[in-house]
Amino acid sequence: MNWTPQQREAIEYRNNNILLAAAAGSGKTAVLVQRIIELIEKDGVSVNELLVLTFTEAAAGEMREKIKKAIQKALRENPENSHLQRQRLLIHSANISTVHAFCLNTLKNNIHLTNLPVDFTLVSELENKILLKEALDEVLERFYANIDRDWSFAELAVGYGGIKNDSILRKYLLKLHEFSRSMAYPSIWLNEAVRPYKETVKNGRLSGEWWAQQLGQTVERAEREVLGIYDRIVELVEKTLPSDHKYVTFFDDEIANTKRMFDHMDKDDYDSVRAALGTLKYATFRGATKPEKDIEQAQNRIKCLRSAATGIVDDLKDCFSTDSEKVVERIQKIYPGIRTLKNLVLMLDRCYTRRKREKSLLDFNDLEHEMLNLLVSKNGSETEVALKLREKIKAILVDEYQDTNNIQDLIFKTVSRENKNIFMVGDLKQSIYKFRNAVPKLFSDKYELYGKSEEQGHLIRLFNNFRSRQNVVDTVNFVFEAVMSPEVGNIEYTEEEFLIRGAQYPDTEDASCFDTELHMICQHSRDEELFDKTELEARVAATRICEMLESGFQIWDKETEKMRTVQLRDMVILMRKTKDVAPIFEQVFEEKGIPVYSEVGHSYLGALEIQTVLAFLQIIDNPRQDIPLIAVMRSPIWGFSPDDLAVMRTKLPEGMFFDAVQRAATDGNEKAKEFLCELEALRKEAETAGVDRLICRILYDFGYYAYVGSLSHGRERQANLDVLLERANEFEHTKMSGLFSFMNYIETMRLEEKDMTPAKVFGEGENVVRIMSIHKSKGLEFPVVFLTGTANEFNLKDAYSAIVWDEQGGLGAEFVDTKMRVRYPSLSKTLVGGKLKADMLSEEMRLLYVALTRAREKLIITAPFKRNDKKWKSPAIFDDGTVPSGYVKKLHSYRDWLVAAFMLHPDMKKLREYCDISEYGVRHDAGFGLKLYLYENADDVRFDDVCRASETFEDTKDDEKLWAEAEKRLNFDYSRKSLATLPLKLSVSEVKRMQDDDGDYVPLIEPLRSGEMAEPKKITGAERGTVVHFVMQMLDPCEIETASDVEKTVQRLLNEKILSRSQAEAVDCRKLSDFFSGALGKRLKNAVRRETEFSFYTSDTSDNLFGNGLDAEILLQGTIDCFFEEEDGRIVLLDYKTDRVANREGAEKASEKYKIQMKYYKKALKEITGRAVDECYLYFLNCGEAVSIPNEEE
């Protein structure tokens, strides 16, 4: 084989640790195998003296097979070589395995040195979930038993546990437990994560290394991004605007002020940063009033960039908006809950470990931790086992090093010889397993360190791509030069990182047929109502596949080394996630007649046939469950009709339905007798038989398997039942066997919202189009790749959770005021959440890289977009082909990143014209073709099924019986159709609106929720009303004397991000204080009982509401602003109004339209309190007038 110089270096270099940065398609596996062979042949190393580690069993098996074949090839060339002959025998016992398999073998060989049971086995995924759930139940039960005495747990459970139950707290505990176990020493990491809180409580201020480090990193990151954007603004101003344009001096001043601000702050001191940020005030930014076209376009781009820069500074200001005393106070209040969270995780781990040991079980994390215990003593020194392994292992070769976690890396170091014999292969740009707790920083740190110092290790780069055509290579380089950076992707994608084409493809008559395609689907507002964007993308992909097949699109066959027509199996549809999306593609492809294979389809546990069998198992376990019992009786297995069940219920109207069935059997119902007899037999059989045996009885003895086979998609339904039977058989071979445990496992799956994989009729190897996630595609390659779902926004919800964590950042949590039921941002949550968000965006960037590098010959990208989106007006790419990282971080999807890069490709002229973007900065040196398909309306995407429909019509139009039946159905008149049009529920506001003379309708808006307030350009009247009501709810009447008292509350809500600036400005504090100083406000202050905003339900008849003569009950919902009770027991109802009325006369006139609303408020309050309302007032805040609403005769 002809090795490149870099490959040859990777094969031959010795006597140092090596980091091989191997890009996609660079032949790293071949290099790794050849290095092993030469270690054996030239260095005299035996294969059993090597430690070769991969991250999947399949990869380990492939590696072993390739090494075996290479040894056999070497033997054919040198058959007398005794060393090679010995290697052929040793290959079967060589340490070529996953990390976990290596740990497992080492532990078993040294079991006498551990505290593990001799007969331990690995826990299955099924057992693991159940044991972990049981352990968590046990731990929480202990804490709940003492909740009255443990106020810190009570605060944690109420503040972070969830509204209706503790499901959210449970998720936090399970996720944090799993994350901590990826650390070498979980308990130490947890204690260190809590230490900054403890130190703050102890010292009463933000002190210590952690705070300084986190604050410094946050400010420095913002400074880099802001100044980087300003550099681009200066470039744009100089190249596109006249020298006397006002932007020149404007930005000179603004940039100088910004730099001065960053220079004058101590970046790791909170108060210093806060004070410096307060000095920066942005001037109003205006462009020329009626500029020429090119000037206007330049101004738009500059505005876009400045908005990104000022947005970063505003985010930084928000982070430091609260004074340090308040920050410390919140940290002190958060600390007890965080400490309890840590203790819960530690207790969960101990309880979970105990349960596993009782059953002689270990999980994969146990293998790593027990291995580390075996290698490193408690005082930190290497054990005898570690020293022996060092002596035995002459070289360590680690594949996919970018996916390593902390404990695995420590194991590698411990068994290496003075850290000089580790060969690490990977690609930072393909690190996409954060959800498995991979730590790409391990790779990036070595990449930077080895690149600077040969003493630390040797860095080799393999960037020749032997997979893809030139157009694919160029596309990848063009995109990631533009958008990948250390801030978003963890690496600077410069020419040094570029892919270099190494693959040789024959010349074709029309090379442009392999150009990358960008299918832009413009969605107008009406399209969103009519067409799902996923369906539009699926239709584009399906149409394009058909076109390629019909046109005989030619690809290179690696096996025959000839060009041939593309087949379905040569194409793949990649998407970020397949759940809920793949079924839409399957349906569209099925309509188009395209066979498709996807491992993820419709819900497995939700399939009718699976639900029926599981319901049968439920009643075998416990027949006193009404829903599964009725489901089984109504199923085709027994065929009870609704009338049959209704008759049984009349025999016993109250109690469990199983008792009603028994009563029916006693009264002589033969079918009920037979059912109970069969059920009892199955229940007895369940005492000794396994779950798989019970399922066989249901499927075959009752004929259910044959029945589902006769339904539509029968083969797939039967395949689903086959999978269930296989899972049950696997379950019976675990230590968790039994019907109860199996049903517990199924319930755990439901609670965790996880699903089994539905069975598929098409196999993966058949001639079908594959649909798969980007994660699933890693390591694979396809001649034609469709990248879809690019407009879906990144899922960053973990970064916005109430509790967040990070390997280096530690723990961050919001402050929850459990009395007010309001959450406030905390400094720790902001810092850790910001770091986590940056890491998640970097992973999304690397996922995009993996997706684009799967293609061998052609890339096709689909991207729905909105024409009027500002992102399309102001591309931020520049002459050097890069987009500022601060701008990249403000984008929300793969489409945004791709279009930011593609917009200034020379072939995108039509898109630029469509979006009214100038030609400035177009990169005429792009060097590859990019075809644009622009769908200006969703209608352009729909493929027509008219022919198929007309053929069906011709076949049936003469069938008189069919027409008569159709006419009968179409003319069907429902006898009670008047009831069908009635709403089940109305709000009191809707009742009021229906009776308004003017008929104006104002949509209701959601109540304010902490942390979810957007920053609207201009607040609407309805939003203003909601804001004012919310502020009135937050005010303590006894503390309000003047307008300044109201202002303090509004400012607090603004600082704590509960209100936005525009919302705070909409509150007239004087008018609110006038209420409290008035007669009605004073009565409220002196009341013996006050209740502020709360929701209620009441009801009324349809006749009273609509005057339609119907007595149907309609549920009414409303929200009462306030009521209070005075010393004499009088109940006063009060409702605030923000109507724009100027005087008493206007207030009295406006009050007329609210009388019906207040009628229902009074009715509801009477039902709640049991007492009639004595007085009712509407208080119009705009004019300060209170209008009494008299009680009417009901």
The answer to whether residue 146 scores a pLDDT higher than 60 is yes
The larger pLDDT score, comparing residue 867 to residue 1049, is at 1049
Instruction: Specify the pLDDT at position 868.
Output: 66
Residue 505 lies in a domain: no
Instruction: Specify the pLDDT at position 960.
Output: 60
**What are the CA-CA distances from residue 749 to residues 148, 321, 502, 690, 718 (Å)?**
32, 43, 47, 20, 21
Same domain, 921 and 820: yes
Q: Summarize pLDDT for 563-610 with one digit per residue, the tens.
A: 999 999 999 999 999 888 998 999 899 888 899 988 765 566 778 888
On average, the pLDDT of the chain sits at 86
Q: Summarize pLDDT for 716-726 with one digit per residue, the tens.
A: 788 888 888 88
Same domain, 1097 and 1157: yes
Instruction: Specify the pLDDT at position 754.
Output: 57
The answer to whether residue 952 scores a pLDDT higher than 50 is no
Which CATH number characterizes residue 438's domain? 3.40.50.300
Instruction: State how far the Cα of 601 lies from the Cα of 757, in Å rounded to an integer.
Output: 8
Mean pLDDT of all residues in 974-981: 51
- Contact call for residues 489 and 431 (beta carbons, < 8 A): no
Same domain, 338 and 193: yes
Lowest-confidence segment of 332-346, 389-403, 945-959 by average pLDDT: 945-959
Q: What's the pLDDT band for 1101 if we cut at 50, 70, 90?
A: confident
Instruction: Specify the pLDDT at position 296.
Output: 76
Instruction: State how far the Cα of 832 lies from the Cα of 214, in Å rounded to an integer.
Output: 8
Cα 241 to chain centroid, rounded: 43
Task: Give the total number of structural domains in the chain.
Answer: 7
Residue 147 lies in a domain: yes
Q: Give every CB contact of residue 969 below 8 A, 6+ residues apart in sequence.
A: none
Q: Summarize pLDDT for 219-257 with one digit per residue, the tens.
A: 999 999 999 889 988 988 888 888 878 888 899 999 999
- Contact call for residues 389 and 415 (beta carbons, < 8 A): yes
Same domain, 338 and 274: no
Instruction: Specify the pLDDT at position 1016.
Output: 41
The answer to whether residue 756 scores a pLDDT higher than 60 is no
Q: Which of 558, 503, 504, 502 is nearest to 5 (CA)?
A: 502
Same domain, 530 and 678: no
Same domain, 393 and 366: yes
Instruction: Specify the pLDDT at position 597.
Output: 87
Q: Which amino acid is at 463?
A: F
Instruction: Specify the pLDDT at position 765.
Output: 62
Instruction: Specify the pLDDT at position 524.
Output: 67
Secondary structure letter of residue 1133 according to DSSP: E
Same domain, 76 and 139: no
Instruction: Specify the pLDDT at position 887.
Output: 85
Helices (H), 78-181: 82-90, 99-109, 125-145, 151-160, 167-180
Last residue of a domain, one of 751, 784, 800: 751
Same domain, 616 and 549: no
Mean pLDDT of all residues in 64-73: 91
- Identify the domain containing residue 242 by its residue range: 209-323
Instruction: Specify the pLDDT at position 809.
Output: 82
Q: Which amino acid is at 675?
A: F
Instruction: Specify the pLDDT at position 1147.
Output: 92
Residue 86 lies in a domain: yes
Instruction: State how far the Cα of 236 lies from the Cα of 921, in Å rounded to an integer.
Output: 9
**What are the CA-CA distances from residue 534 to residues 297, 587, 617, 760, 789 (Å)?**
32, 11, 38, 22, 7
Q: Which of 174, 265, 142, 158 is nearest to 215 (CA)?
A: 265
The answer to whether residue 218 scores a pLDDT higher than 60 is yes
Residue 661 lies in a domain: no
Mean pLDDT of all residues in 622-647: 92
Q: What's the pLDDT band for 491 if we cut at 50, 70, 90?
A: very high
Residue 191 lies in a domain: yes
- Contact call for residues 916 and 297 (beta carbons, < 8 A): yes
- Contact call for residues 467 and 24 (beta carbons, < 8 A): yes
Q: Give every CB contact of residue 20 below 8 A, 6+ residues apart in sequence.
A: 10, 28, 31, 423, 424, 425, 426, 460, 462
Secondary structure letter of residue 1187 according to DSSP: E
Last residue of a domain, one of 270, 297, 323: 323
Lowest-confidence segment of 591-595, 745-749, 1161-1165 by average pLDDT: 745-749
Q: What's the pLDDT band for 128 if we cut at 50, 70, 90?
A: confident
The larger pLDDT score, comparing residue 965 to residue 454, is at 454
Instruction: Specify the pLDDT at position 113.
Output: 94
Same domain, 349 and 392: no
Query: For residue 199, what are its two tokens?
Result: 């130190």
Instruction: Specify the pLDDT at position 1007.
Output: 32
Instruction: Specify the pLDDT at position 386.
Output: 94
DSSP, collapsed to helix, strand or coil, labels residue 842 as helix
Instruction: Specify the pLDDT at position 379.
Output: 85
The answer to whether residue 1008 scores a pLDDT higher than 50 is no
Instruction: Specify the pLDDT at position 351.
Output: 97
Number of H helices, E strands in the chain: 48, 29
Same domain, 307 and 340: no
The answer to whether residue 755 scores a pLDDT higher than 70 is no
What is 493-511 written as a DSSP string? Answer: --GGG--EE-------S-G
Residue 492 lies in a domain: no
Residue 474 lies in a domain: no
Instruction: State how far the Cα of 1074 lies from the Cα of 586, in Å rounded to an integer.
Output: 63
CA dihedral sign, ordered 650, 656, 661, 667: negative
Instruction: Specify the pLDDT at position 681.
Output: 92
Q: Which of 1057, 1122, 1063 is nearest to 1087 (CA)?
A: 1122
Last residue of a domain, one of 954, 977, 1000: 977
Q: Summarize pLDDT for 277-324 with one digit per residue, the tens.
A: 999 988 887 766 666 777 777 787 788 888 889 999 999 999 998 899
The answer to whether residue 420 scores a pLDDT higher than 50 is yes
Q: What's the pLDDT band for 739 if we cut at 50, 70, 90?
A: confident
Instruction: State how far the Cα of 305 lies from the Cα of 301, in Å rounded to an integer.
Output: 6
Q: Summarize pLDDT for 150-169 with one digit per residue, the tens.
A: 888 988 988 888 767 788 99
Same domain, 27 and 113: yes
- Contact call for residues 1082 and 1037 (beta carbons, < 8 A): no
Which CATH number characterizes residue 1160's domain? 3.90.320.10
For the chain, the maximum distance between any two Cα atoms, rounded to a whole number of angstroms, is: 113
- Contact call for residues 339 and 197 (beta carbons, < 8 A): yes
What is 707-733 written as a DSSP string? Answer: HHHTSTTHHHHHHHHHHHHHHHHHHHT
Same domain, 256 and 367: no
Q: Summarize pLDDT for 1021-1036 with one digit per residue, the tens.
A: 777 888 898 899 888 8
Residue 1183 lies in a domain: yes
The larger pLDDT score, comparing residue 532 to residue 992, is at 532
Which CATH number characterizes residue 711's domain? 1.10.486.10
Mean pLDDT of all residues in 1084-1099: 84
1024 burial via Cβ count (<10 Å: 0-12, 13-18, 19+)? middle
Q: Summarize pLDDT for 867-926 with one digit per residue, the tens.
A: 666 665 555 555 566 888 888 998 999 999 999 899 889 998 888 887 777 776 788 788
